[in-house]
Amino acid sequence: MDNARRWPARPLFKEPSRPIEGHICATIWPTRALNSTERWFDELYFWTEGFEASTTQRARIQWAALLTAFFMLEHERTDRVGITVSFGTVERFMDEILEGIEAHALVDQRLCVMLRGSVQRLRSTYRLRAFVDYLRVHQIPVGYRSAHSRITMELASIDFLQPSFCKILAPSSLRPEFWSDFVLEARVVGIDPE
C-alpha cells in the first residue's frame, strides 16, 4: 500500500537469540456502510512485512494499535476510529486493554472494536465474554471482522459475540445472485445487511 507507514520491527521485539528483520506497517482507510455513503469510522489497520509474527507479537502489535487509536482520537485526527483485536489478544492482554480504555475515558466512546477469531480455539470464553460486556457498558461498538467472504463459515463466533456489525471481505463475484445470497446469509445470522 502506497500510503502505509513502516517501522522497523527490530526495536519492538528484542530477542537476542533471534532478532527480527522486517517492518510493522499501518494504514488508515474509511469504512462505510454497504448500501450508502455513510462513513462509520476510519479503520487503523496494522500488518507485518518481512517476518511472520508470533501470537504474542501480534497481540503486542494490536495493543500498540489501540494506543495509537486513542492518540488519534485525543489529537482530533479522526472523529471515530476502528481497530481489530483478535480473541487471542483479549486472552493475553485483557487487563492492559481495559486499563488503556479506562485511561482514555473521555474519548473511548469514539472507538469501535472489531473482534476476530474462532470461539473453538479459545481457552477461556469467559474472558472474551467479560471483555465484550465491558465494551458495551462503555458504549464502545463491538463488531466482528470476518476472515471469509461467507458469513456462515463463522456462525459460532458471530453467535457468541452478538456483534453490532460485521466487517467482511467483499465478494469477488459480480453476479447478482452471489450478492443476494450474501445479503440473505447476513439476515439469517441476525446482521443488518447495511
Does residue 49 contact residue 6 with C-beta atoms inside 8 Å?
yes
pLDDT at 29: 87
pLDDT at position 57: 85
pLDDT at position 189 over 90: no
- Under the banding of pLDDT at 50, 70 and 90, the label for residue 38 is confident
The mean of the pLDDT values for the chain is 83
- Mean pLDDT of the region 18-38: 80
User: Counting every residue, how long is the chain?
Assistant: 194
What confidence score (pLDDT) does residue 112 get?
A: 94
Give pLDDT, residue 141: 93
pLDDT at 148: 66
pLDDT at position 34:
67
pLDDT-derived band of residue 171, with 50, 70 and 90 as boundaries?
low
pTM for the model stands at: 0.82
**What is the sign of the dihedral through the CA atoms of 45, 46, 49 and 55?**
negative
> Using one digit for the tens of pLDDT, what is the confidence trace for 52-80?
888 888 888 998 899 999 999 999 988 99
Residue 138: predicted pLDDT: 93
Long-range contacts of 70-75 (CB under 8 A, 24+ apart): 70/100, 70/103, 70/104, 70/107, 70/108, 70/111, 72/42, 72/44, 73/104, 73/107, 73/110, 73/111, 74/104, 74/106, 74/107
As a whole number of angstroms, the distance between CA 24 and CA 5 comes to 8
Residue 1 has pLDDT above 70, yes or no: no
Least confident of 24-38, 94-108, 145-159: 145-159
